[in-house]
Homo-oligomer: A and B are copies of this chain.
Amino acid sequence: MSQLLVVGSLAYDSIQTPSGKADKTLGGSANYFSLAASLFAPVRVVGVVGEDYSSSDKEMLLSRKVDLSGLETVPGKTFHWEGKYEGDMNEAKTLKTELNVFEHFNPKLPAAFTETPFVFLANIAPELQTQVLSQIKNPKFVGMDTMNFWIQSKKEALLKVLSKVDVILINEGEADQLTGAKNAIEAAPKICAMGPQYVVIKRGEYGFVLYSKSEGFFLLPAMPVPNVVDPTGAGDTFAGGFFGYLTSFNQKPTFEDMKKACVVGTMCSSFTIQNFGVKAIVEVNKEKLKTRYAEFKKSVGLIEPVL
């Protein structure tokens, strides 16, 4: 079976939402991504943690057969983010970001990792994304994420990465920021004009927009979840389910594959938001995904009117 490599953050987050708060709870894009992706394919993690990173948090990934030989442990503290959600919970207010060991992160891939066919560059500095991608020989399919901070501060480096990937997964507000568009429908073709064949614009509680240069749009709403506890990591979980699913086919994905992968991402992220940090996604298995898909299908399947 094909392997999937992800580079991203492993973190301890402190999160406040209207449902309560969680202090130093496990988070980071690479954790959310790996937990979802490993339901479908073997995952290799590239990242860095500090000496405070708990061995049980490593074991949680190892128990999912995630390969941690690209995870460095260095002196200092693990990346820490503090954020707060209010009102409609569509956007977090960042209270504190401590890069810690991430500040001098200089990713070097283990030899075995350099031939990984599926690669996901989660939300980290675009230079680091480039540094990882340049170490991979002949990747089959490459995806990336990014955020407002890099669009604003490192746009040139970001556009360079963008020109080399097959797909970008990006938030709606960030898609608008990147392109000057007013909405996802306008932004998607503009992003594809910057390089990638596909773009997935993540709309939070409103679902996703998938766009292909050659095949146009495909979009669906998110799963209706009444008890949203913490939206942190929903996008990373979506990306993990999406990329893990694509990796399991062991071939260059088609547009039909991408559509299904977006549905899988939607299912995975619908769990993440139901508890703080990774607490919900870590409990998910294929049976739970199947049950949730059956509910989703009931709420979302297109019903043809007689016209």
Residue from the list B176, B220, B304, B305 in contact with A221, Cβ < 8 A: B220
Task: Please report the C-alpha to C-alpha distance between residue A189 and residue B289 in the assembled complex, in whole angstroms.
Answer: 25
Contact (Cβ within 8 A) B260 A182? no
Contact (Cβ within 8 A) B203 A206? yes
For residue A90, which residue of chain B has the nearest CB? B183
Interface residue stretch chosen among A47-55, A125-133, A211-219: A211-219
| Interface of A toward B, CB cutoff 8 Å | 18, 87-89, 176, 182-183, 185-186, 189, 203, 205-207, 209, 216-221, 224-226, 228, 245, 256, 259-261, 263-264, 267, 286, 289-290, 293, 296-307
With A221-B219, A298-B216 in contact, do A306 and B260 touch (Cβ < 8 Å)?
Answer: yes
Question: In the assembly, how many copies of this chain are there?
Answer: 2
Contact (Cβ within 8 A) A88 B224? no
A-B contact pairs, 11 of them (CB 8 A): A183-B228, A185-B226, A206-B221, A220-B220, A221-B221, A263-B303, A263-B305, A289-B307, A290-B307, A293-B307, A302-B302
Nearest-Cβ distance from residue A305 to partner chain B, whole angstroms = 4
Which 7 pairs from chain A and chain B are nearest by CB?
A260-B305, A206-B206, A259-B303, A217-B224, A217-B299, A185-B224, A219-B221
